[in-house]
Structure 1
């Protein structure tokens, strides 16, 4: 009896309609959170409360199905997204709407929208790629900060008398340079300094080359490289779950066949 229930829940978890239902409930949850930020009538407020309870119970059922059908339950909570989903659902179950913790309850319900990431594998790959790229990105960001700091110091020393609002100190200068890097009316800043220093355009062009072109492209390259690795890992994981042959397993089988053929050929040779 228990085995049949687990088998039925496993089929339900892998059912496309159920997966789309989970995504639809997450979207409804996001819309419900947004609706609460507008002035609502008493009837609409009561409806959102009922809807919120239904969403919480549905998420509880969904996370329970995932846990029951997991082949390795001991490793279920070793995955970060499973821990995140469980915490969001567990905290949502605490009745704190009429207490001093009401604000915390609302904030936790906002994070239910992030469950879209744990449900959709493609989104999960993007987030995992970004997190795994952080160690490599750290050095690029550090080098970018050094460039920012040097140019901000130069800009503060040279241009502070022209416009103290933009170049008054090194902190304000870094904010101004961020504006230049994002191309937000950066030509207005450049033309203002060029009226006093005609060759100051070199300052802006070199800064844009280092930051907007060189370093940002390095960041994109690192993220894309890690993303390709994550997609390959996801493909291998899906192949193992579906018992499909992977490239590594096929190569191993080919090597075994090659060794077997060579052994047969060696055994069939006439002994001299």
Structure 2
């Protein structure tokens, strides 16, 4: 299984001494699962602590549990900093974890006490702990350029549609038409509502068709293009980014497997040479004839 905890610069390196032991401890699959379960448990604790139904004694117990949890998180971060040294700060996920844990250490009183409410952000640490979540976030980040292009297409489409409906429907003196299409700003909001399909038949289409019966010739093509085609491009871009991330992960796994096979072959060859050096081959015995003697 690929190690998502260690920084990329240390993936193939063996850390010496106590650093190696600390890294092996925080990178062990059981410890990673323990942290994931602890994050979920802490989220439940924070939810109970925020409720209005808990008693004073129970609040004290919850506070103690919260302190124990944050202590474990601090130990985890400390071990990672000790093991990875400066490489810890070169990994975005480690910095993310450090900031989330640091916010939890803010005193509960004073001017910064309001930041204690951000302790619930500890639940976001699941993203850095669970590999599948990290893949999704990495895919979203890598899809930003493509999503920006799709977003630009949507803006152009909305602007063109808003100008058209303002000039066509906004000329009508009816109060409803002025509210929907009277200005460019109103028209932008209306076509955005059409794109999101938010109650567009009752709020937009039917009032407009009372004055412009042919307006469906604009609404239906716009909805088909904006909602069913352009917006689905977002999904396509994200899915493509996920496939790229998955392909990269598989390629890394294949490289790691090939490297392990090469190292295993070298060990087998060295072991074979060692055996031959300590146990030299003895003379081969002569083969016995299998032919039967004739009587």
Task: Please indicate the TM-score interval, normalised by the length of the shorter structure.
Answer: 0.7 to 0.9
Instruction: Tell me the alpha carbon deviations over residues 24-80 of structure 1, each in whole angstroms, 9 at most, x when there is no partner.
Output: 11112222333343214322332332222122112112223444454xx43322121
Instruction: Tell me the alpha carbon deviations over residues 213-263 of structure 1, each in whole angstroms, 9 at most, x when there is no partner.
Output: 2212222222112211212223344556xx4228xx99xxxxxxxxxxxxx
Q: Distance in 2 between matches of 1:211 and 1:192?
A: 21
> How many Å apart are 1:15 and its aligned residue?
3.8
**Residues 175 and 33 (structure 1 numbering): CA distance in 2 closer, same or farther, change over 3 Å?**
farther
**Residues 180 and 36 (structure 1 numbering): CA distance in 2 closer, same or farther, change over 3 Å?**
farther
| Alignment of 1:62 onto 2:76 | yes
> How many Å apart are 1:210 and its aligned residue?
2.2
Q: Distance in 1 between matches of 2:68 and 2:254?
A: 35
**Residues 9 and 205 (structure 1 numbering): CA distance in 2 closer, same or farther, change over 3 Å?**
same
Q: Distance in 1 between matches of 2:96 and 2:142?
A: 18
| Alignment of 1:145 onto 2:158 | no
Q: Distance in 2 between matches of 1:80 and 1:100?
A: 29
- Which residue of 2 is the match for residue 97 of structure 1? 108
**Residues 192 and 17 (structure 1 numbering): CA distance in 2 closer, same or farther, change over 3 Å?**
same
> How many Å apart are 1:10 and its aligned residue?
4.4
Task: Work out whether residues 166 and 184 of structure 2, in 8 Å CA contact, stay in contact via their aligned partners in 1.
Answer: yes
Q: Distance in 2 between matches of 1:238 and 1:81?
A: 21
Residue of 206, 221, 225 corresponding to 2:221: 206
Q: Distance in 2 between matches of 1:14 and 1:84?
A: 17
**Residues 171 and 54 (structure 1 numbering): CA distance in 2 closer, same or farther, change over 3 Å?**
farther
> How many Å apart are 1:6 and its aligned residue?
4.9
- Secondary structure of the 1:222 match is helix
| Alignment of 1:13 onto 2:26 | yes
Stretches of structure 1 lacking an aligned partner (at least 5 in a row) = 251-272
**TM-score (structure 2 length as normaliser):** 0.72
Q: Distance in 2 between matches of 1:66 and 1:116?
A: 17
* RMSD between aligned residues: 2.7
- Equivalent residues in 2 for 1:106-117, closer than 5 Å: 106-107=117-118, 109-117=119-127
Stretches of structure 2 lacking an aligned partner (at least 5 in a row) = 1-14, 263-295
| Alignment of 1:78 onto 2:93 | no
Q: How many residues align?
A: 241
Q: Distance in 2 between matches of 1:175 and 1:217?
A: 20
- Secondary structure of the 2:40 match is helix
